[in-house]
């Protein structure tokens, strides 16, 4: 990708790449954000399943919540707008722990952190870079993977991001959800989340949520709702058609060469060797992609 296209679409803030739609002024002001004790934050590295979890929450009847746009999306006026949301707020973000507003930590807001196999995440982010006009288009998969491994992509290193939250995995106000676990046992994952959030869902509602938030249903809804600018869940685009591509587990095997897989796995082993999340991911993800 050309440095010119990269410099006009992305900017560095505290050493991490952000899209131009996250203004520096807003990022500077995040610590002035006044969190409420009943706020819910949906946190993830990009392309890890935030939209899916957001759709699930939106499909819960009488949940008494309002899904907002991401806290780092737009300019400083967006922080003011968030103050006007009357109901319990569900706020998506791709921020690392360090960049999350200080009042969120002080008030111990409920945080749902969504993790996905980093190889699938890398493939999904590669397509997102190619299709999203807010991001510079990579020349090749190999070139993009190199950037991903160096953390020279939006929101920085996947490893640094996950590890920043991993330290707080056992805090009472933090719940880790694994994308692959949701695919394996959707109902169990949703029961875990609704119980954590203190929201009751009966079995018939659970069945309806499962139908409404199937990948094909969400993809077709994205086409219908794409014209609604208030339905922005991703800090990288308001175009919902860009968000849903395949939604499968193990697609990375169609992209990684044996050498790329070996390099990636070595880095994963090195970076995640002391991490609870690293151990959990190995349980959910078949490393051979079969």
Q: How far apart are CA 223 and CA 239, in angstroms?
A: 9
Residue written as tokens 């695919």? Answer: 183
- Strands of the chain (E only): list them: 10-13, 16-19, 40-44, 65-67, 88-93, 110-115, 174-178
Task: Show the CA angle centred on residue 56, arms to residues 52 and 58, nearest 5°.
Answer: 115
Q: How far apart are CA 121 and CA 255, in angstroms?
A: 12
Helix (H) and strand (E) counts in the chain: 14, 7
Residues 154 and 135 sit within 8 Å (Cβ to Cβ):
yes
Residues 6+ apart with CB under 8 A from 25: 75, 76
Residues carrying an active site annotation: 94
State whether the Cα torsion 179-244-191-73 is positive or negative: positive
Q: How far apart are CA 32 and CA 101, in angstroms?
A: 7
Q: Specify burial of residue 175 (Cβ count, 10 A radius: 0-12, 13-18, 19+).
A: middle
Three-class DSSP category at 3: helix
Residues 125 and 46 sit within 8 Å (Cβ to Cβ):
yes
Neighbours of 185 (CB within 10 A): 11
């Amino acid at each position: 990708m050309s440095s010119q296209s990269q410099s006009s679409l992305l900017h560095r803030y505290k050493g991490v790449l952000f899209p131009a739609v996250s203004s520096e002024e807003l990022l500077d002001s995040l610590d002035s954000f006044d969190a409420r004790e009943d706020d819910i934050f949906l946190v993830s590295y990009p392309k890890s399943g935030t939209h899916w979890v957001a759709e699930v929450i939106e499909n819960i009847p009488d949940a008494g919540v309002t899904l907002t746009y991401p806290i780092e999306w737009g300019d400083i006026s967006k922080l003011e707008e968030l103050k006007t949301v009357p109901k319990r707020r569900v706020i998506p973000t791709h921020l690392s722990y360090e960049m999350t507003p200080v009042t969120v930590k002080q008030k111990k807001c409920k945080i749902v952190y969504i993790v996905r196999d980093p190889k699938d995440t890398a493939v999904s982010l590669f397509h997102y870079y190619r299709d999203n006009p807010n991001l510079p288009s990579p020349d090749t998969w190999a070139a993009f993977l190199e950037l991903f491994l160096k953390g020279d992509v939006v929101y920085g290193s996947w490893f640094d991001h996950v590890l920043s939250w991993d330290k707080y995995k056992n805090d009472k106000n933090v719940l880790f959800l694994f994308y692959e676990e949701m695919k394996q046992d959707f109902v169990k994952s949703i029961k875990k989340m609704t119980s954590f959030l203190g929201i009751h869902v009966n079995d018939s509602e659970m069945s309806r949520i499962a139908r409404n938030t199937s990948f094909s249903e969400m993809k077709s809804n994205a086409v219908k709702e794409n014209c609604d600018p208030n339905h922005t869940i991703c800090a990288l685009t308001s175009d919902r058609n860009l968000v849903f591509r395949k939604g499968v587990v193990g697609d990375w095997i169609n992209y990684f060469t044996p050498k790329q897989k070996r390099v990636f796995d070595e880095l994963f082993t090195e970076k995640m060797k002391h991490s609870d999340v690293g151990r959990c991911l190995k349980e959910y993800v078949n490393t051979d992609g079969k």
